[in-house]
A and B are shown apart, each in its own frame.
Chain A
Amino acid sequence: MSEASPGILYCHCQYAQVVPREVKEAVLKRLCEAGVPFEAVADLCEMSARHDPALKRLAETGSIKVAACFPRAVKWLFAAAGAPLPLSGTEVSNMRTESADDIVAALLRAGIKPNLPTGKVTAADAPSAEPSTASA
């Protein structure tokens, strides 16, 4: 993983209503308030369908935090455009399911927690709200 601070990519999911408007607008607003550099794209799906070379540019930054939708979808949207994201250098925050507070905190904190799926992803891989009861 790169030593430099990860890049930030924000997707506005412009062409569908599946990401709550209040979440995506709050995330964008707070990125703007934070005074950090970031990349903002209108719609990753469109870029993937068009094999937009910008995806390759973004994937090749080495380590990147993405505010978009489900990590599995983000991973394969990039791959479909011939721009695979680095598995060990990508952290995706899901604006469909997470709060703006959590997403902004993840985007702005130092370091990166890679979370792209590897192999088949099942419900067992989803984070649990309950503490584990398994003994060590």
Chain B
Amino acid sequence: MALTQPALRVLLYEGESARPFEAGERYDSIKTLLERGFAVTSINGGGRVAPADSSPLLVLGRFDNGAEPEFDGATASVRTRNISGFQPQQLGDLVETARTEMQAAPRGEWKPWFPVIDYDRCTNCMQCLSFCLFGVYGVDTDRRIQVQNQDNCKTNCPACSRVCPEAAIMFPKYKAGPINGDVVSQADLQREKMKIDISALLGGDVYEMLRTRSERAKSRFSKERDSDKALNERQKCLVKLAQAGDIPAEVLMSLPSPEEIQRRAEEAAAKAQAALSGR
């Protein structure tokens, strides 16, 4: 969901009229603020940073002589705080208080797990829209697939990326490529055997599907010549299959009734069909 409040920008200011930080203090201060979810601009020496805009600014500096800088160009509210004598660890609370006062958006309330579409690869086939039961996908006014409801996505579930025939769906916080954004290999595009059995998810017995796939995997790997390699691969594969192509157990457990799944699937398919037929 897009921000409904402006996002706070923190400036750690070491320009004119401010006493500079030691490198270690600068590091501790910025790290503390990042860990609290804030965006920080470190201004020291020459060089370029993004210009001021409509975002509210909180300027932190050591203004020992009381002379605080003037900021031109900002179209939103600007507050200055003298942090002389503050320990870096105290800055988090100071900034959080200012954020509340300035009615800026809170941070870090949700693990940002959601699909990111690589439109260089996407063919607008709508398989992701048809597949997702949680309404993450939709189409824009040009009937092009887009991610519309990031918050609906199930944390750590990259299932839709596995049904994408072009490996065009990324989850940047995923552990492995190409789902994490790494380059796409031919092998990635030929991973049919690892794809999720959509029909099973759409009303079948997921656990029966897992058992069936495990048997298939055993059969496939029994043909391997290198027994150690085969065992290793089988173990990896079984672990993978046990997770239904990385679908977390919580997601499987949270799936609605077969009837509801069927209803949602039909709804999504109709949406996808409408988008495709209108192009």
Binding site for B on A (CB under 8 A): 4-7, 12-16, 18, 25, 28-29, 31-33, 35-54, 57-58, 60-61, 69-74, 76-77, 79-80, 96, 117-123, 125-126
Which of A16, A29, A80, A125 is the one whose CB lies under 8 Å from B173? A16
Q: Once bound together, how far apart are the Cα atoms of A80 and B36, in whole Å?
A: 24
* Stretch from B51-59, B209-217, B220-228, B270-278 at the A interface: B51-59
Contact of B35 among A7, A12, A46, A76 (CB under 8 A): A12
A125 — nearest CB in chain B belongs to which residue?
A: B183
Q: How far is the CA of A28 from the CA of B26 in the complex (A)?
A: 10
Contact status of A29 and B47, CB under 8 A, knowing A42-B35, A77-B172, A126-B183? no
Q: Is the beta-carbon distance between A69 and B172 smaller than 8 angstroms?
A: yes
* Set of chain B residues within 8 Å of A4, measured between Cβ atoms: 48
Which DSSP category, helix, strand, loop or mixed, fits chain B's interface? loop
Confirm or deny: B159 has a beta carbon within 8 angstroms of a beta carbon on chain A. no
Contact flags (1/0) for B29-71 with A, using CB distance below 8 Å?
0110011111111111111111101110000000000000000
Q: What residues of chain B have their CB less than 8 Å away from a CB belonging to chain A?
A: 1-3, 6-7, 9, 23-24, 26-27, 30-31, 34-51, 53-55, 105, 107-108, 110-114, 116-121, 147, 150-151, 170, 172-175, 177, 180-186
A73: nearest chain-B partner, CB-CB = B181
Given contacts A14-B34, A46-B112, A123-B184, 12 further A-B contacts (CB under 8 A): A7-B49, A15-B108, A29-B23, A36-B45, A36-B47, A39-B40, A54-B9, A57-B50, A57-B55, A60-B50, A69-B172, A123-B183
**A37 with B48, Cβ < 8 A, contacts A15-B173, A52-B3, A119-B120 known:** yes
Which of A40, A80, A96, A120 is close to B147, meaning CB atoms less than 8 Å apart? A80
6 contacts between A and B (CB under 8 A): A18-B172, A37-B46, A42-B108, A46-B37, A72-B118, A73-B116
Closest CB-CB distance, A90 to chain B, in whole Å? 14
Within the complex, what minimum Cβ distance (angstroms) separates B69 from chain A? 14
Tell me if A46 and B107 are in contact (CB < 8 A).
yes
Q: Contacts A35-B44, A40-B39; is A121 near B107 (CB within 8 Å)?
A: no
Say whether, besides A42-B108, A45-B112, A61-B48, A118 and B120 are in contact (CB < 8 Å). Answer: yes
Question: For A120, what are the chain B residues with a Cβ–Cβ distance below 8 Å?
Answer: 120-121, 184
Does A121 lie within 8 Å of B183, measured CB to CB?
yes
